[in-house]
Amino acid sequence: MDSSHLNAKPTNVTYTPVKERCPMMKKYVEKDMGGCSLSGIMNEDGSRISSDNIVRSIAVLHERGNGLGGGFAAYGIYPEYREYYALHLMFNNERSKELTEAFVETNFLVELVERIPTRNVNSIIDPPILWRYFVRPKDKLPDAEEDDLVAQSVMKINSSIDGAFVMSSGKNMGVFKATGFPEDVAKFYKLEEYEAYTWIAHGRFPTNTPGWCGGAHPFSLLDWSVAHNGEISSYGTNKRYLEMFGYVCTLMTDTEVMTYLFDLLVRRHHLPIEITSLALASPLWYDIDRMPPERRALCKAIRAVYGSTLVNGPFAIILGYRQGMVGLNDRIKLRPLVAARKKNTLYLASEESGIREICKCPDEVWFPKAGEPVIGRLREPVRC
């Protein structure tokens, strides 16, 4: 398997990425600027549904992408292996597969290894080698430490094993992505065979980096997956802040800082999701100064301490995690996001048409305000 699929250029032109031409650019990351399509469905009662709806929804938003990336995140798809971390990996060649497997086997017990089932789809040319591993750490550790170990291992694989990339690493969830329109990606991964209580979909329109499988959204670390429409002006600041806490930003796109910020603030600092949203899309000082004293002190402390986590620049994100789904806009709402509810289901999408396609008469439809999160939560926490 050669690496030409990494470039969207015709094969008779050799394109050496900047990273290789200039040795000092090793740490360089080209920014991903996306106009994109987002869609998300979450059943708060935990009932699992097929991929039908999400694929129809994202297909309606076809024009927002350009076929250079599509992906899905699904939660609740591996109930028989719910105790295990489901690592979805893509490899450029057999060698990177060998190296990765050797690494995984040193730190983890592997319960099951198998190819991720796919079918041939014309528009998806030269897909990478795709495998999944259900693992758990060799020694039984407290949950927090197990999560840390998995997170560190994922970042190590992504940054140091050439040609290997971890698509997802959560329990009882998985991310499926490739270079192609999302509807085609769904066909490619045979998504009709899965059932999930949360489905998140993304279609990409990169204007900067050539499309490559790892560059498609959603980005995932542990149970977090983020589908993002936007461009992060504060990327430099966020990246350097995260690097202080051991996160390695490697994925040639700025969406990874969103995922890592949620991981840091919610999982490691134990901040509630609402507070994390306050940090990432903070209210203006103008509004903070007019809040009642206790809330004002809270917001001031969040902005003062977590100022480097503020995400500047237009964004609309759909974040999936084990307990639910979150939709969030930047603080001056420069990208679209629509939300809707029908009975137990929360819908999020870039355009209302994406929701109406699968839910003709929602109980309520609204446009979330800038900086205010829309949160869907499971009634009873999923047993894991």
Q: Which of 212, 306, 321, 347 binds another protein (CB under 8 A)?
A: 306
Which of 22, 36, 213, 249 is an active site residue? 36
Strand order in the sheet with 164-171: 108-115, 129-137, 85-91, 164-171
- Closest distance to another protein from the beta carbon of 278 (Å): 9
- Closest distance to another protein from the beta carbon of 271 (Å): 6
Beta carbons of 281 and 329 less than 8 angstroms apart: yes
- Closest distance to another protein from the beta carbon of 209 (Å): 12
From start to end of 311-361, where are the E strands?
A: 315-321, 324-329, 338-342, 345-349
C-alpha 315/C-alpha 34 separation (Å) is 10
C-alpha 39/C-alpha 364 separation (Å) is 17
Beta carbons of 39 and 61 less than 8 angstroms apart: yes
Q: Does 236 bind another protein (CB under 8 A)?
A: yes
C-alpha 371/C-alpha 326 separation (Å) is 12
* Total of residues contacting another protein (CB under 8 A): 55
- Closest distance to another protein from the beta carbon of 76 (Å): 26
Q: Does 18 bind another protein (CB under 8 A)?
A: yes
Which lies closer to another protein via its Cβ, residue 126 or residue 274?
274
36 is catalytic: yes
Residues numbered 259-288 forming contacts with another protein, rule: CB under 8 A:
268-272, 274-275, 282, 284-286
Q: Does 117 bind another protein (CB under 8 A)?
A: no
Residues 6 or more apart whose Cβ sits within 8 Å of residue 98: none
Q: Beta 37-43 vs 85-91: how paired, if at all?
A: unpaired
Q: Does 35 bind another protein (CB under 8 A)?
A: yes
SS3 177: strand
Q: Which of 182, 314, 320, 362 binds another protein (CB under 8 A)?
A: 314
Which lies closer to another protein via its Cβ, residue 149 or residue 334?
334
C-alpha 75/C-alpha 114 separation (Å) is 19
Q: Does 231 bind another protein (CB under 8 A)?
A: yes
Q: Which of 99, 266, 291, 298 binds another protein (CB under 8 A)?
A: 298
Which lies closer to another protein via its Cβ, residue 69 or residue 128?
69
Beta carbons of 71 and 178 less than 8 angstroms apart: yes
Q: Does 15 bind another protein (CB under 8 A)?
A: no
Q: Does 28 bind another protein (CB under 8 A)?
A: yes
- Closest distance to another protein from the beta carbon of 270 (Å): 8
- Closest distance to another protein from the beta carbon of 285 (Å): 5
C-alpha 290/C-alpha 21 separation (Å) is 53
Residues 6 or more apart whose Cβ sits within 8 Å of residue 12: none
Which lies closer to another protein via its Cβ, residue 5 or residue 64?
64
Which lies closer to another protein via its Cβ, residue 274 or residue 363?
274
Name the H helices within the chain. 18-21, 52-60, 94-107, 143-160, 182-188, 235-244, 255-262, 273-280, 285-288, 293-305, 352-356
Q: Does 144 bind another protein (CB under 8 A)?
A: no
Q: Does 316 bind another protein (CB under 8 A)?
A: no
Catalytic positions: 36
Write out the residues near another protein by the rule CB under 8 A.
18, 22, 24-25, 28, 31, 33-35, 207-208, 230-231, 233-237, 239-241, 243-245, 268-272, 274-275, 282, 284-286, 294, 297-298, 300-308, 310-314, 331-332, 334
